[in-house]
Structure formats: structure tokens, C-alpha cells
Structure 1
Amino acid sequence: MVTRPSGRASDALRPVSIEPGFARHAEGSVLIRMGGTEVLCAASVESRVPTFLRGQGKGWVTAEYGMLPRATHSRGSREAAKGKQSGRTQEIQRLIGRSLRAVVDLKALGEMSITVDCDVLNADGGTRCASITGAWVALRLALETLVRNRVLAGVPLTAQVAAVSCGLTGAGAVLDLDYDEDSNAAADANFVLTEAGGIVEIQGTAEQAPFSETQFHDLMRLARIGTGQLFAAQREAVEAALGTTGGTR
């Protein structure tokens, strides 16, 4: 069996850390690191909702995603300079927004909006998954801020959500692909799951020949292992932040 470039076991995540409070002016923020991928997630609160939600007594949670020009091996142009976002950027930020809204009680949030900005500082594979995992913590901390300021009576979250990539490589089915693995994988998939085992979204693609249902189940098994560890890292980050801010538990 071929070994992974990193030497990791097939079911091993890259080193993960989630540092809360990184953006000091945001209502909630974290810097999440998954191996060489680093994403700053900052949640901002506004006391208004989009036009299509006005008067309905519901809130809104959305996300924006972007990469710094030198987050990758060669410089990428700033999308603001081009005057439009790429299709990839739009697809990823919509995924992040959907993933967060799946675990928020928008009625309990009331008529306010929370935008989570996910800015990739360094990219080494799995940026959308790291963004979702970090964005949930930033959102949780923003909601804690609203509770602490007596804007909300409680945190309107219904579950934790996290995401991880899995793929089929020369080493077989593996968890949490870095760039080298992702760029050479025969198939890859992103799993967005809740801590109770619910499926929010799965994005899977065969890059070469179609893969089997058995192989898919192998990837799903790995995703559950990986997200289990990510849920624990999320909880640790929230507890660390609440211990210093005196938030609700």
C-alpha cells in the first residue's frame, strides 16, 4: 500500500487548532488552522435583514469567502480588482451560508443578520471545510455576545456543524486531504455533518473512473471520524473563549 505524502494514517486529520478572538472588533471570530491551511473567520451582527425577510420576524445568517492573493503557490488577482467574484468563490460562500443556517433557529434570532467572513490566509487544501468548521465557532461566539448584551435570551443554535474532506488516492480512502493529495486524488468529497450524525451536505466527484458505493461508505466512515474530532476542537475553542469573556454556557 502506498503511504500518504504526509505520512499520516488514513484516518488521521492534519494538526488542528482554533484560536478564538483573533479579530478583536468582530462580535465573534477565530483563526482556524488545519495543517497548512489557515482561515480567519469573523462574524458581524447587523440589526436588519435582507428585503425578502422584512416583517417576517426571522433573522438571516450568511457568509462571504475569499483568498488572499498569496494564499496559494502563485499570486492570484484580487477579485475586487476584477470587479466580480469567481464562480468558485460564490459556490463556496453559499455552501458556508447553507451549512450555518441548517443549525440556526432563524425565528429565535429575530430580525437581525449575521455575516461570517471567511478569509483564507494560507491554502493547503480543504479551505471550504476549514471555513465551515471555523465559521460555526465564530457564529457561536457572536451569538454569545448578543446573549451577554441581553439582545437575545438564549443562543439560537440547534446543533454543531463541521466539515471535512475525504478522498480516494494511491493510499486508498483517506481523511482530510492536503493540496498534494487533493490535486492527485481519483475521487474527493466534502462532508458537512452535525454532531448528532445529521448530513447537511455532501459534495463528491470522481476525477477519474467512477467510484463504488462501498468506496463511498469508506469515505463516509472517515468523515464521521474526522468531524468527531473537529466537534471536540470547536467545543474546546468555545469553552476557552467563554472562560475569558464570561459568556453563557
Structure 2
Amino acid sequence: MTTPEAPRERSYGRAADQMRPIKLTNDIIKTADGSCLAEFGDTRVLCCATVEEGVPKWRRASHGCGWVTAEYAMLPASTARRSKREYGARKGRSMEIERLIGRSLRSVVRMEKMGEITVTLDCDVIQADGGTRTASVTGAWVALHDALMGLVRANKLNRLPLTGQVAAISAGIVGGEALLDLDYSEDSHADVDLNLVGTDAGGIVEVQGTGERSTFSRAQLDGLLDMGQAAIERLVAIQNDVTGFRD
């Protein structure tokens, strides 16, 4: 007789479809135009927005449109083993993640309403325990919102050029079980790893799904997406509590 596998013990005693404790704290860096500390359990990412006049050279023919971009890095002590600082030689992973953050944010910005300004979101991982890219997207939106609101209050913009909110969450299959918001211990043993970026309107911005140790079925993919979209609804509600965007 086969002995049933014991239920998986998850951090914070949570169920398979539960996120870790989420906390978004804005206005945390007084010298930034907008800032947010995003905490997904033990993962902590500091997101800072900087507004600068002008746009990249290739953007100057866009007739007054602005630009939103991002940079991502992990601080040396953010992991158990010290990671080297990235100077001239950028890590491919960092470049891929910062492109994801930039694409995600631009999906909810009306850049034709920004004028020729550039907003850069710096996402620095202070402590990594899985889901750093999803925490970065979620926190960066708060920092972007606050930076743009500052321009509205200073009468540099007529209105907030945001069409909505964007947030992200991870999910995966570990030991045959679909789990939401993987921490490092789960992510490092995942059979399937998925990151979902979505909007407050229920739209999907990006899906990154990989069979790390096994393939997965269409039904399993649909289950992960359903789980992820329900989580994004909760994340945008937390963003709104912090920013008052939908008040």
C-alpha cells in the first residue's frame, strides 16, 4: 500500500493558493520622486522613481511622448552567499528582469500625455527569498504613481497619465502541487515556474512559464493563471490602499 504524501508545509502556514504577507510602504526615500518598499514575505525590494527632463535620442521623434524605463539589481548581501556588484558587465538575468519591469509599467501609462520626460524605476533587491521580479513590478507601480502625482501637484502635468494599475505574482508546480507566490525553497525545487503580470482591469500583460523539471498540461496552466489572476486582484487592492488611486 502506498502511503499518502504528507501535506506540504509552507512558510507562514499558508494554503497552496495563499500569498505570503504583503506590505507596500511608499514615500520611504525622501530624495526620490516616488518610492516604495515592497515586501513579499522575506523578499524585500526597494523601488525608487526618478523624473528627468528629456527622453532618449531615439524617442525624440515621438512628438512629445515621454518614456518609462527600469533598472534592477540585487544588493551583495541580499542572498545567503554574497553576490558581486554589477558594474560594467551586467548579468543577463538582471537585464531580462528590468526589461520586464519596464514593459509592465508602460502597459498602463499614456506616454503621449507625459511630455518629454523620462521616469526611471530603480528596483534594488535588499533581501531575496523568491519572487523578486514580481515584487519589483508591484512596488515599482506605486513609486511610478507617486512620482507622476508629484508632477500633477506641481502643475507640470494636467492629469495623471495612468490608465490603471499593474502588479505581478509567481506561481508554480512543486511536487505535483500547484502553489502561489513561491518562496526560494519552493522555487528552487519547482517542476514548473510561472510569473504573471496583470492589470486591475483583469488584463494579462505577460506570462513567463517554464517547465523546469517536467512538462505541464493546458489544464495545469489554466489553473496557475486562475490562481495568479485572483492574487493580482488582491495586490492591486493593496496598491490602492497605499496610493488612493481608485478613491
Is the counterpart of residue 64 in structure 1 residue 71 in structure 2? yes
Shift of 1:107: 0.2
Q: Does 1:196 align with 2:201?
A: yes
For the 8 Å contact 1:45–1:142, the answer to whether it is kept is: yes
Cα displacement string for residues 65-87 of structure 1 (whole angstroms, at most 9, x for unaligned residues)? 0010010010011112xx21100
How much does 1:228 deviate? 1.1
| Separation of aligned partners in 2, 1:180 and 1:218 | 22
Aligned to 2:129: 124
Partner SS for 1:205: strand
Aligned match of 1:39: 45
| Local SS of the residue matching 1:79 | coil
Q: Deviations over 1:71-122 (max 9, x none)?
A: 0010011112xx2110000000000000001110010011110000000000
> For 1:190 and 1:197, how far apart are their aligned partners in 2?
15
Q: Which residue of 2 aligns with 1:79?
A: 86
Aligned partner letter, 1:28: G
**Deviations 1:159-212 (CA, angstroms, capped at 9, x unpaired):** 110000000012611100000000001001000001111110000000112100
Separation (CA, whole Å) in 2 of partners of 1:119 and 1:8: 27
Question: Which structure 1 segments of 5+ residues have no match?
Answer: 243-247
Quote the Cα distance in structure 2 between the aligned partners of 1:188 and 1:4. Answer: 19
Counterpart residue number, 1:224:
229
Aligned match of 1:17: 23
TM-score, structure 1 length as denominator? 0.94
Partner Cα separation in structure 2 for residue 123 and residue 53 of structure 1: 34
- The residue identity in structure 2 corresponding to 1:101 is R
Alpha-carbon RMSD across the aligned residues, in angstroms, is 1.4
Could you say which residue in structure 2 is the equivalent of 1:134? Answer: 139
* CA distance in structure 2 between the partners assigned to 1:168 and 1:158 by the alignment: 33
Residue 4 (structure 1) shift: 3.6
Q: Give, in whole Å, the separation in 2 of the partners of 1:113 and 1:94.
A: 15
Partner Cα separation in structure 2 for residue 67 and residue 4 of structure 1? 28
Q: Which has the higher contact order (CA 8 A, sep 6+)?
A: 1
AA at the equivalent of 2:75: L
Gaps of 5+ in 2: none
Instruction: Please state if 1:48 is matched with 2:41.
Output: no
Q: How does 1:134-173 map to 2 (within 5 A)?
A: 134-170=139-175, 172-173=177-178
Residue 78 of structure 2 aligns to a residue whose secondary structure is coil
Q: In 1, distance between residues paired with 2:73 and 2:207?
A: 21
- Taking only the aligned residue pairs, the percentage that are identical comes to 50
Secondary structure, counterpart of 1:219 in structure 2: helix
Partner of 1:245: none
